[in-house]
Amino acid sequence: MTSTAPTGTRSADAPPIEIHDLHKHFGPTRALDGLDLTVAEGEVAGFLGPNGSGKSTTIRVLLGLLRATSGEARLFGADPWRDAVDLHRRLAYVPGDVTLWPHLTGGEAIDFLSRLRGKPDPRRKKDLLEAFELDPTKKARTYSKGNRQKVALVAAFATEVPLLILDEPTAGLDPLMEAVFTEHVRHAAAQGTSVLLSSHILSEVEKVCDTVTIIRAGRAVESGTLDELRHLTRSSVTAVVEGDPAAVARIDGVHDAVTAGDPEGTRLTFDVDNTAMGAVLTTLSGLGVRSFTAAPPSLEELFLRHYGDDVSDVGASGDGDAADGAGSRSGTGSGRGAGRHAAATTSEAGAR
Amino acid sequence: MSTAVAPPAVRSAEQARGATLTGTGSLVRFMLRQDRVRLTVWAVSVVFFYTYFTFALNLFFDDTAAMQGRAALMETPVGIVMGGPGYGLDDYSTGVAMSNEGITWMVLALAILSILHVVRHTRAEEESNRSELVRAAVVGRHAPAVAAVVTLVLAQAVIAVLSAGALVAVGDLAVADSFALTVGSGLSAMVFGAVALVVCQVVGHARTATGASLAVFAVAFVVRAVGDIRELGGSTLSWFSPIAWAQQMRAFVDLRWWPIALSVLAIAVLLVVAALLASRRDFGGSLVETRAGRADAGPALRGPLAMAWLQQRWALLWSCLGLGLMWFASGTMLPGIGDMIGDMVVDNPMLAQLFGADPSQLAVGFLSVLVLYGAVCCAAYAVVMAQRPKAEESSGRAEVVFSHPVSRHRWLGAQAAVAGVGTAVLLAVSVYALWGGAVIAGWGDQTFTDYSVVVWTYLPALAVFLGLVLALYGWAPRLTGIGWALVAYTFVVGMFGQVFDLPDWVYRVSPFDWVPEVFSGEPYAGDVAVLWAVAVGLGVLGFVGFRRRDLATG
Ligand SMILES: Nc1ncnc2c1ncn2[C@@H]1O[C@H](COP(=O)(O)OP(=O)(O)OP(=O)(O)O)[C@@H](O)[C@H]1O
Ligand SMILES: [Mg+2]
């Protein structure tokens, strides 16, 4: 694994979450297939991956709801299955689909859950209810999806714990409430709480997470800080040139090049690996550039590429086919992905 | 749909009218497929009971004296409440008895079928968001409700025809009267299904809808009973109850068909009302506002035990009330039944052989049968409550609780404790209600202590049911339904076992077979100890299994 966070603070204490080579099988289904994941103390870790990739399964193993088939999972250095009760005093969990006791009101459910943890704090509950604009007097079965979610969020934030485990916690929340949620996660992080946040909402991950782990088919395919990941993405470029753009399309690291007629020459659009940008600019400058725009790499793109591939593509990372750029998504760590880009750049230079 | 083939010009107008029903056909097929097992079990059970009672009445009331004894019983208020209006008593026969006494119970069973069916396919579906998916597909607004009614009509029709067939074949009864009885009962029951459909538009939740519809049945039951007590054969008041509309067809006495029109009319009116209400409300919405509750939990809501109690208390209360009343009423019937069986035995030596010669012992035997029935009801309660943890788990609520510092043993222990105590309370209420009824009716051969011994000796047998379901839950939660199989087995063996000469182990599988016979024999403690051992063993097994397995995830 590449480094995930500053390591200085946790010399004596075990990290809040430490997973190594974790496997979980449901009959023939391999929900987790050698997962590695570490969340350091005080870190907010994003946990992303396509549907069915094993995020919820990981979290349920961490909560001691599921028993790992093999491998190691540790919470604060302890076994989440055996020491579940003790560990749960130190964490709060919000599932993505909250079911409540239909005949209890939201306020009653929140109190019940806080009392289970043992430290109810009415002041804090009141503040949270106000922040999330939740009416606690309604029966749970009359709550909308978003409001049920809020009940779980209020219950989770109502007690101070060193670890928050959140599984798509904002599913169904409106953007305003999502902002309130983000604020509370940041606040908790500022107090030193570690957070594992599984989410499909990239802007949310971008806003609160220090590090990101992307999981696919039960194993981590990418892991690092957001900046590290961003470095691996492509920019999309649109340029109008006078000369023949074919040379640009031939550069390794340029993908999906499309040309179209334009009053001032030829309009060329393409995606380019950030590592090949230099070569592209050199070539373009010889073609008489009339206009040029380059859109910055978005996280979205990175994730889409990780999500969209099928598994065989990942396995076949060795061939030099650049048609769809198996580049950064083929490695199991950022180091390897960067290596391939370096190679691509070199080969391009050789061709020149 | 037929509109699909019409030319475009006509089509749009027709579509506007028919659009709310689009997709009904495929929904009907879908529901029948979904319910094929459930409806088959219902049909088989109902037809079985028609067959059984026809057979039993034919057998036991072979001679006129016995029939007249029963007719005399049916004239008493208790007979009217538990039986029917009391017509044709001068010439009581199998057909008349089926018609006079049986209709109340057949309508009850079929009404429960109707209510559950309608609620399940309308309000429960809406509540679970499943039908949101269906509704968003090409399905008209009224289609789910109409499909529910259509499937109900189909099911009731099949049951009525098969039941009538059973009456004709087994009882050798008149064809027209047999059909009048079964079709009349089916239509009367469907009135309550239509009531349920209306209620589903008004209230927001499936359980409320079921409860309210059953309450309407209870009112109808009381109105019919009070009306009939006022005047033998039925007074004006009786006619306000849909149950009477089937009874007043007077099958096998002097058959008349027109009361059936009342049922049909009522169903039609209720369906129109339901359609009007449905057009006025939102999807998933209701016409009555839900009251605001408390913002903070009461001080008692602390921990899994309190939660389990909160979840089970209403079911316990209603079961105690319902079964308590039922067994109290049964208790008051004991003296009459004792006399009746006594008369029968005097007149019919064959029956004496079957029941034994001593009339006083016959009534005692009957009391034991009542106790067994009561215990079977408690066993059903135990199985239902022991399955609560499974519902908590599959709904995802357990997952939330287990993410808190709550151990598996503590949580399951809380559920099991409340279920166990509830079962014990229900058993005590049932048995002492029986005692109370018997004492009030002046039938005091058995002491309070005897009844108390019954409570204590049946308790471990019921614990076996609880333990079995817990063990299944711990190791194979999908199989907890086996608990029901044991209830059914126990019932069948207890009810019919004596008639057949079966191998010993067949009886020994039933936990109730290990319970000492209190009223006639000497209690022997050994068997009770075995029951406790089995119950505790199964329970412990369940706890061990539950600690070891994965929690089911939504
Ligand atoms: N109890 C179970 N039995 C069998 N298979 C299961 C079970 N739970 C999960 N799976 C399978 O394990 C895989 C991982 O599921 P998981 O719920 O962890 O995915 P996820 O990453 O949380 O997806 P999503 O983004 O949709 O929430 C899926 O293929 C799922 O079908
Ligand atoms: Mg998930």
What pLDDT, in 10s, does the model give residues B119-176?
999 888 877 766 556 656 667 778 889 999 999 999 999 999 999 999 999 888 999 9
Average pLDDT of chain B to the nearest whole number: 84
Q: Residue B353: how many CB atoms within 10 A of its CB? A: 10
Give span(s): CATH 3.30.2130.10, chain A.
234-295
CA-nearest residue, atom 6 of ligand 1: A26
Q: How many Cβ contacts (< 8 angstroms) between chains A and B?
A: 117
**Which of B292, B301, B553 is facing A138, going by the closest CB pair?**
B292
| Chain A residues within 8 angstroms (CB to CB) of chain B | 56, 60, 63-67, 84-86, 88-89, 91-93, 95, 97-105, 107-109, 111-113, 115-118, 122, 136-139, 141-142, 152, 165
Q: Among residues of chain B, what percentage have pLDDT more than 90?
A: 43
State in Å: Cα B475 to ligand 2 middle: 25
CB A96 within 8 A of CB A168: yes
DSSP 8-class letter at A8? G
CB B545 within 8 A of CB B389: no
Three-state SS at A271: strand
What pLDDT, in 10s, does the model give residues B309-329?
999 998 899 889 888 887 887
CA-nearest residue, atom 28 of ligand 1: A52
* pTM of the predicted model as reported, rounded to 2 decimal places: 0.73
Nearest CA in chain A to B289: A142
Q: Which residues of A touch B208 (CB under 8 A)?
A: none
Q: Which residue has the tokens 């308790």?
A: B459
CB–CB contact B553 A142 (8 Å): no
ipTM of this predicted complex? 0.75
State in Å: Cα A44 to ligand 2 middle: 18
Burial (CB count within 10 angstroms: exposed 0-12, middle 13-18, buried 19+), residue B475: middle
Structure tokens, B13 = 């107008």
Q: What is the largest CA-CA distance in chain A?
A: 73
Nearest CA in chain B to A59: B403
**Which H or E run contains B462?**
helix B448-475
| CATH no., domain A234-295 | 3.30.2130.10
> What is the pLDDT averaged over residues B537-545?
97
Is residue A199 lining ligand 1, measured as CB closer than 6 Å?
no
Three-state SS at B288: coil
- Closest Cα in chain A, distance from residue B446 (Å): 44
**Which of A99, A107, A112 is facing B294, going by the closest CB pair?**
A107
- Cα A187 to its chain centre, rounded Å, is 20
**Which of B290, B400, B550 is facing A139, going by the closest CB pair?**
B290
For residue A68, CA distances in Å to A47, A165, B120, B550 come to 19, 18, 38, 9
What pLDDT, in 10s, does the model give residues B172-224?
899 999 999 999 999 999 999 999 999 998 887 787 788 889 888 988 987 89
Three-state SS at A299: helix
Nearest CA in chain A to B410: A85
Phi, psi angles (nearest 5°) of residue B378: -65, -35
State in Å: Cα A229 to ligand 2 middle: 23
Report the residue count for chain B.
554
CB B214 within 8 A of CB B118: no
What pLDDT, in 10s, does the model give residues A129-158?
999 999 999 888 778 889 999 999 999 999
**Which H or E run contains A147?**
helix A145-157
Q: A17-228: which CATH topology?
A: Rossmann fold (3.40.50)
Q: How far apart are CA B362 and CA B60, in angstroms?
A: 14
Is residue A67 lining ligand 1, measured as CB closer than 6 Å?
no
Quick one: pLDDT at residue B378? 94
State in Å: Cα A303 to ligand 1 middle: 19
Give span(s): CATH 3.40.50.300, chain A.
17-228
Is residue A53 lining ligand 1, measured as CB closer than 6 Å?
yes
CB B177 within 8 A of CB B103: no
State in Å: Cα A59 to ligand 2 middle: 9
